[in-house]
C-alpha cells in the first residue's frame, strides 16, 4: 500500500481524529502544507503514486469559491481532478470538500449564513442505507461540527448522505470511493481549542468559544465513532 497524501490548507487545520485512526491502523501517510505555496504540491501526474488523498479545510478567510484566483488553490484543484481521473479514494473536508466538488464540475457558493459550531444534521435515507459510513448508524439525527461560510452543492453523478437546515448537502460522495463533508468529522477537543484561540475573531463573541469547547467535549465520543467509520470506509479503497 502506498502513502495517503494529506493536503493541509491552513496551519492549524490538521487531520485530527483521522490522523489518529490512520496511525492506529498503521496506514502510512504524509502531509503537504499546501498553504505555503503551489510548489509544495505534487504535480497532477504524481497522483497515481499515492494510495489515497485527504484534502482538509481551513478558516473562513480561505475563499475557495474564488480558488482560480489563488495560485496554490488552483493547483490543488488540478491535482484533485487528476485524483478523480485516476479513481483514487479521496476524503474532502470543509473547504477541501468544496475543492473536490469543484474538481468534478460541481458548484461552491457563499452560505446564506456563517455556520460555526455544533448543529443537528439528518442522515438522508435513500443513499445512506447502503453506505459503509452511515448505513448502520442508529441515530438518524446526528451532531456535526461546522466552521464555514462557503459550501459545496451536489457533485455531478454523486451520492447524498447527510443534510441540515442551512446546508442541504452536508455529506455527499463521488465515484463510490470519495467522500465530501461540509462539516468537520475529524474534529477533536484539541483542534477546536486551537481554532478558537487563533480564529476567535470569526466567532460572535468570546463566550461563544467557551460554548464550542463545552459542546465538543459532550459530542466527542460520537464524533470519534463517526471518524473511525469514515477511515474504515476509506481504507477499504486504498490501493
38-93 confidence digits (pLDDT tens): 899 999 999 999 999 999 999 988 878 887 788 999 999 999 999 999 999 999 99
pTM of the model: 0.96
Give residue 185's pLDDT.
Answer: 98
Segment 217-232 shows an average pLDDT of 97
Q: Does the pLDDT at position 23 exceed 80?
A: yes
Q: Does the pLDDT at position 126 exceed 80?
A: no
Give residue 125's pLDDT.
Answer: 80
Q: Does the pLDDT at position 1 exceed 80?
A: no
Report the CATH number that the domain containing residue 107 is assigned in CATH: 3.40.50.880
Contact 150, 95 (CB under 8 A): yes
Three-state helix/strand/coil letters over 85-149: HCCCCEEEECHHHHHHHHHCCCCEEEEEEEEEEEEEEEECHHHHCCCCCCCCCCCCEEEEEEEEE
- pLDDT band, very low/low/confident/very high, at 26 (cuts 50, 70, 90): very high
- Burial code (b: 16+ CB inside 10 Å, e: under 16) for 11-26 equals eebbbbbbbbbbeeee
What range does the domain containing 210 cover? Answer: 4-237
- Count of structural domains within the chain: 1
Give residue 223's pLDDT.
Answer: 97
- pLDDT band, very low/low/confident/very high, at 239 (cuts 50, 70, 90): confident
DSSP letter, residue 199? S
- pLDDT band, very low/low/confident/very high, at 17 (cuts 50, 70, 90): very high
Give the whole-angstrom CA distance, residue 143 versus residue 118: 6
Do the strands 29-33 and 52-55 form a parallel or antiparallel pair, or are they unpaired? unpaired
Q: Does the pLDDT at position 129 exceed 80?
A: no
Cell of 83: 485524483
Give residue 227's pLDDT.
Answer: 97
Average pLDDT of every residue of the chain: 94
Give residue 86's pLDDT.
Answer: 95
Q: Does the pLDDT at position 188 exceed 90?
A: yes
What percent of the chain has a predicted confidence (pLDDT) above 90? Answer: 82
What percent of the chain has a predicted confidence (pLDDT) above 70? Answer: 100
Do the strands 90-93 and 52-55 form a parallel or antiparallel pair, or are they unpaired? parallel
Contact 95, 145 (CB under 8 A): no
Contact 178, 131 (CB under 8 A): no
Q: List Cα–Cα distances, 13 to 49, 82, 128, 153, in angstroms.
A: 24, 23, 27, 22
- pLDDT band, very low/low/confident/very high, at 97 (cuts 50, 70, 90): very high
Contact 34, 78 (CB under 8 A): no
Segment 214-238 shows an average pLDDT of 97
Give residue 138's pLDDT.
Answer: 81
Amino acid at each position: 500500500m502506498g502513502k495517503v497524501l494529506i493536503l493541509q490548507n491552513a496551519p492549524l487545520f490538521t487531520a485530527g481524529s483521522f490522523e489518529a485512526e490512520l496511525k492506529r491502523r498503521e496506514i502510512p501517510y504524509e502531509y503537504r502544507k499546501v498553504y505555503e505555496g503551489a510548489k509544495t504540491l505534487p504535480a497532477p501526474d504524481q497522483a497515481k503514486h499515492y494510495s489515497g488523498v485527504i484534502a482538509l479545510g481551513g478558516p473562513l478567510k480561505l475563499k475557495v469559491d474564488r480558488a482560480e484566483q489563488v495560485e496554490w488553490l488552483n493547483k490543488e484543484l488540478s491535482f484533485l481532478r487528476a485524483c478523480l481521473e485516476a479513481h483514487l479514494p479521496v476524503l474532502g473536508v470543509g473547504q477541501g470538500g468544496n475543492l473536490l466538488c469543484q474538481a468534478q464540475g460541481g458548484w461552491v457558493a457563499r452560505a446564506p449564513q456563517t455556520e460555526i459550531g455544533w448543529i443537528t444534521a439528518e442522515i438522508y435515507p435513500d443513499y445512506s442505507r447502503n453506505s459503509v459510513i452511515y448505513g448502520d448508524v442508529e441515530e438518524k439525527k446526528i451532531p456535526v461540527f461546522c466552521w464555514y461560510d462557503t459550501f459545496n452543492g451536489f457533485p455531478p453523478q454523486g451520492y447524498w448522505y447527510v443534510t441540515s437546515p442551512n446546508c442541504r448537502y452536508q455529506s455527499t460522495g463521488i465515484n463510490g470511493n470519495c467522500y465530501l463533508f461540509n462539516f468537520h468529522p475529524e474534529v477533536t477537543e484539541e483542534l477546536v481549542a486551537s481554532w478558537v484561540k487563533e480564529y476567535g475573531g470569526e466567532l460572535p463573541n468570546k463566550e461563544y468559544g467557551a460554548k464550542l469547547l463545552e459542546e465538543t467535549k459532550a459530542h466527542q465520543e460520537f464524533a470519534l465513532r463517526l471518524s473511525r467509520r469514515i477511515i474504515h470506509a476509506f481504507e477499504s479503497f486504498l490501493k
